[in-house]
Structure 1
Amino acid sequence: MLDIPSSVRVDVEALLAAQNHMGVCDAIEQYAPVGKPDTMTTPHFPKVAGIDSTVPPPAQTVAPTSPAPAPPSSPGAPPAPAAPGAPGALIQDRLAGWVSDLTTLHELTERLARTAVMDDALHEVLRAGAALVGARRGLVVLEPADGLGPDTTVGLGLARADLGHIETVPRGATSYGRILDRTDGTGEPEVHADLLSEDGLDPRHREVAARLGYAASFALPLATEAAGRLGAAVWLYDEPAEPVERQRHLVGLYTRYATEHLARLLELERARAKSRTIAEELLPPRLPRVAGVQLAARHRTGPRGGGDWYDALPLPEGALGLTVGSVTGSGASAVAAMGRLRASLRAYAVMEGEDPVAVLSDLELLLRLTEPARSATALFAYCEPALRKIVLAGAGHSPPLVIGERRTEFVETSLSAPLGMLACWEAPSVEFSPEPGETVLLYTDGLLHRTGDPMDRAFARLHAAAAGVPRTIRNDPGAIADHVLHTVLPDGLDAADSDEDVVLLAARFE
């Protein structure tokens, strides 16, 4: 809430006359007399967007003068408006300034609250701060004090090369460097109203400032009591200047809220990174080399971490086992379940890989016993590269896609339920033989779901993408997988945050 200076002595009659023209007073409490009748208490604004602060009074724009005598009026006529120099006009001017400040802070904090990604939030902090302090350019250096990262630098009105020039300045000679090197990362802002005329300015700093065309800077720490130091924000002026007291107060209120928002996004970013790391570690670090076949895989993990997997396992007598699958759910529990199922499937493949139906039957039994509340889709293929022969079985999974010079078609597989859905799973296997130079593409349903289209249209889009693979890259399974991924998921959807994981496993037979 606003702390308006204590009681104000005014002329009651002039104030009452002025109130008829003070629209901003409609939303606040009426003045109540305290002590003497001509002593008025100040109003209090309701909280706006969680802002509870003390805003210093605006600069007085009109010198206080004694109210001019009101002209005589006829009985029943409305009271005459207060003179420009009346105390009521001064109060109205101040209240209007406070309402304007609160409205501005409310709009800026709402815009920041709508950001859900750290990079977007940092850019919004820079734009809002520049508007509040009257600067045109700036940068934010994110460097959490706990050393766990992520560390990054984001600029406003500064290209990557400009940020590189600023980073060549010795850390201790920069505003953000001095803030970040403090023990707790807090304290007073760093103000340099005229950099180029400062005594003792680092020569490299002077050179960079002249080259980039900024002459003053204003820096604030980004820190909270709970999270500690997160980083520092610096705004740059083209001419010697510095924010006035009112601007400093407003940007201080804004950065206080912004730092809390950044701290929440930081925790979310770290949780997502941990989930992605765990999921990646549970997948094969590299694909095996098997004579007669080239392998490539692409994996995109959703922000909460999903249960999609892929694997390629060398088997006795030069055979190769290929598998893709997906566990229902997301988050740490789904990732852990995926790791257990993938490890178990590897063991079953070694024991009885020649019979894909037996492999998936054993996996289904394990799932029912250990994960009774969870289901999964899976596909396992037993490959003999020397004979170009593949025997596969699927449990509720999408069929593989064969990509070649003369054909692009889905493999006809038997319709079956996912693992864990029936009391006893079993479905017949299918056998097919890819031609020399053809690529068999295995994928998870996340590739289709991320399109946002109905499944029939998603399958059609996948088929069209595979049919459109350029001839120049048909001998590279990695390039084929990239082409399909970027074609099926245009506009960056292949890398965007999504609840669906995406897995592609491509095997090209020679």
Structure 2
Amino acid sequence: MLDISSRVRVHVETLLAAQNDMGVCDAFQQYAPARKPDAMNAPHPPKVAGTDPTIPPPAHTAAPVPGPPPVPAPGGPAPGALLQDRLAGWVSDLTTLHELTERLARTRTLDAALQELLRAGAALVGARRGLVVLESGDAPGPGTTVGLGLARADLGHIETVPRGALPYGRLLDTAAGLPGGEGEIVHPDLFADDGLDPRHREVAARLGYAASYALPLTTEATGRLGAAVWLYDEPAEPHERRRHLVGLYVRYATEHLARLTELEYTRACMTTIAEELLPSRLPRVTGVQLAARHRTGPRGGGDWYDALPLPDAALGLAVGSVTGSGPSAVAAMGRLRASLRAYAVMEGEDPVAVLSDLELLLRLTEPARSATALFAYCEPALRKVTLAGAGHSPPLLIGERRTEFVETSVSAPLGMLACWEAPSVEFETEPGETVLLYTDGLLHRTGDPMDRAFARLHAAAAGVPRTLRRDPGAVADHVLRTVLPDGLDMEDGTEDVVLLAARFD
């Protein structure tokens, strides 16, 4: 006689062991079949002196083999088939969770992760629309609200409902959204709820949803991060198995969102610090118009620019880049820029002396760091420019009759040689011509070899429309968008980008 129960028991134990190895066995304990020892097949110790002591089996022995299953009713499914269906369900759930978490892990921005959370959650609970609200009590700044299948106007209507009447408001403002709290808020039929807020009823009727299911975005490690709500077009609610799966998914998603939130906050802080170390506004000098554009990388880089009035109605222009990225590079950039301003005020008419002093300071105070820099001493009344560069890309002269790179001497970056010195270059501009200074990040972000990147930059400058040439800001924007097309100028890149344009009247 075929022992179906023994075979099924072996497969169940094998699956549970594999699930324990994968760390997700606890996710499916509720589906584990109950098993009771069979008293008829249990070993009986011998009776001694008329007693029948109960001696537990040793811990290392195998569990008793359960007895045969009950005889199914005629025409009903066999027990083995039922367990096989249950096993297939577990494997399907594991596969689904694995695929969804893998897709979520591939997101690199907070917005993309929120959209992926809403889409995956909607598929798990069987909804069509939803929204997620990030509102951590620890992170500064306003909350973030993202919708799935909801336009901005729809989100605006939802925000007119009193906060305490909305599921996410209850999760965020009460202990329900904390670890160990209520955990979920289910409204299977909003319009059948006599206690529903009148404004909530009006908004639900306007937007066409009749039920909702909400979960907090919270874990023991991250605390309360926000809440997610999925909306149903008809009265409905997810069954127990769907709730269990979406709960596991949201737990992982919360940890991923917490990491991305911290990363975005760090990036914002680095961008703010870098911007504060650069000029808050450019000076106004007779005979010249100035404009600057700056794009900071995600980790914060050391590219900088400066423009400062000098004695005798002169103007000093500078761009540079410090090696490395992160807080240390940003701090070094601030120190270098402040030092160059001091040297420019004292001896700005000699750009070689300014860069020589800067190189000596860098070599003595930060011997492990190098930097590139370019300093130009401008006399707007004469439209004359005297400049010197240390390992920096040459400026670009843009005019009606010519678009060309300024010939500068080849020189090593600051901090690379025991004693830096290079000859300066002097040239004059025509009325209406623009001198464009930039950092190497503009060229590196193209992804092209340097010769092709220089050619792309030259073509972009030569193609500036005549109607834009009177505005140095428009010239810089056109060059930036042309060299880095398809929005690459606004995306985060590994390199900082700086452009400083000076148009001489």
TM-score, normalization: structure 2? 0.88
The Cα offsets for residues 306-333 of structure 1, whole Å up to 9 and x where unpaired, read as 0000000110111000000000000111
How far apart in 2 are the matches of 1:285 and 1:49?
54
Offset of residue 172 of structure 1 = 1.3
- Please, which of 163, 168, 171 is the counterpart of residue 163 of structure 2? 171
Instruction: Name the amino acid aligned to 1:290.
Output: V
**Among 406, 413, 421, which residue is 1:426 paired with?**
421
After superposition, the C-alpha distances for 1:342-373 in whole angstroms (9 at most, x for unaligned) are 00000000000000000000000001001111
User: Which 10-residue stretch deviates more, 469-478 or 128-137?
Assistant: 469-478
1:136 paired to 2:128? yes
What is the alpha-carbon distance in structure 2 between the residues aligned to residue 262 and residue 330 of structure 1?
A: 24
- Letter matched to residue 409 of structure 1: E
Partner of 2:411: 416
**Identical amino acids, percent of aligned pairs:** 80
Do the aligned partners of residues 457 and 296 (structure 1) sit closer, same or farther apart at CA in structure 2, a change above 3 Å counting? same
- Aligned residue runs from structure 1 range 161-200, under 5 A: 161-183=153-175, 185-186=177-178, 187-188=181-182, 189-200=184-195
Deviations 1:272-320 (A, max 9, x none): 1111111111111111111111111100000110000000011011100
Q: Please say if residues 396 and 416 of structure 1, whose CA atoms lie closer than 8 Å, have aligned partners that are also in contact.
A: yes
- 2:395 alignment partner, one of 397, 400, 404: 400
**The one of 350, 365, 370 aligned to 1:355:** 350
Report how far residue 16 of structure 1 moved.
5.9
Out of 39, 45, 66, which is 2:18 matched to?
A: 45
Aligned match of 1:13 in 3, 6, 26? Answer: 3
Q: Quote the residue 2:198 is aligned against.
A: 203
Moved more, 245-254 or 265-274: 265-274
Matching residue's letter, 2:444: H
> 1:304-453, aligned counterparts within 5 Å?
304-453=299-448
Structure 2 residue 233 is the aligned partner of structure 1 residue 238: yes
SS across alignment from 2:104 = helix
Root mean square deviation of aligned Cα: 2.1
Q: 2:473, 2:141 → 1: CA distance?
A: 32
Q: Which residue of 2 aligns with 1:33?
A: none
Is 1:66 paired with 2:58? Answer: no
CA distance change for structure 1 residues 392 and 17 in 2, over 3 Å: closer, same or farther?
A: closer
Query: How far apart, CA to CA, are the structure 2 residues paired with 1:204 and 1:17?
Result: 59
**Secondary structure class of the residue paired with 2:431:** coil
Amino acid at match of 1:201: L
Aligned-partner Cα distance in 2 for 1:261–1:84: 46
Gaps of 5+ in 2: 34-68
Q: Provide the rounded CA distance (Å) in 1 between the counterparts of 2:384 and 2:76.
A: 94
Cα 1:18–1:365 change in 2 (3 A) is closer
1:54 equivalenced with 2:49 (yes/no): no
Looking at structure 1, the residues matched to 268 and 494 of structure 2 have their Cα atoms a distance apart, in angstroms, of 15
Secondary structure of the structure 1 residue equivalent to 2:459: helix
Given that residues 436 and 502 in structure 2 are in contact (C-alpha distance below 8 angstroms), is that contact kept between their aligned partners in structure 1? yes
2:114 corresponds in structure 1 to 122
8 Å CA contact 2:130, 2:230 repeated in 1: yes
**CA–CA separation in structure 1 for the residues paired with 2:73 and 2:250:** 44
Q: Which amino acid aligns with 1:54?
A: A
Aligned pairs for 1:451-466 within 5 A: 451-466=446-461
1:226 Cα shift?
A: 2.8
- SS where residue 317 of structure 1 aligns? coil
8 Å contact from structure 2 (residues 170, 176) kept in 1: no
Q: What whole-Å deviation, never above 9, does each CA across 1:83-103 have from its counterpart, x for those lacking one?
A: 962211111111111111111
Structure 1 residue matching 2:18: 3-state secondary structure: coil
Deviations 1:411-438 (A, max 9, x none): 1111111111111110000111111111
Task: Compute the displacement of 1:50 (Å).
Answer: 4.9
How far did 1:149 drift? 3.6
Secondary structure in structure 1 of the residue aligned to 2:369: coil
Contact in 2 for aligned 1:65/1:85 (Cα 8 Å): no
Aligned-partner SS, 2:19: coil
Distance verdict in 2 for CA 1:50–1:388, change over 3 Å: farther
SS in 2 for 1:46: helix
Distance across 2 between alignment mates of 1:324 and 1:17: 76
Match of 1:107 in 2: 99
Distance in 1, matches of 2:22 and 2:384, equals: 66
Contact 2:8/2:83 (<8 A) preserved: no
Residue 280 (structure 1) aligns with: 275
Give the Å deviation of 1:336. Answer: 0.7
Within 5 Å, give how 1:282-301 maps onto structure 2.
282-301=277-296
Q: In the TM superposition, what whole-angstrom CA distance separates every residue of 1:84-142 from its partner, at most 9, and x where no partner exists?
A: 62211111111111111111011111111111211111111111100110001101101
Matched position secondary structure for 2:3: helix
How many angstroms does 1:48 deviate by? 7.7
Q: Alignment partner of 1:53: what SS? A: helix
Counterpart in 2 of 1:6? none
Structure 1: 5+ residue runs without aligned partners? 1-10, 31-41, 70-82
Letter in 2 for 1:57: Y
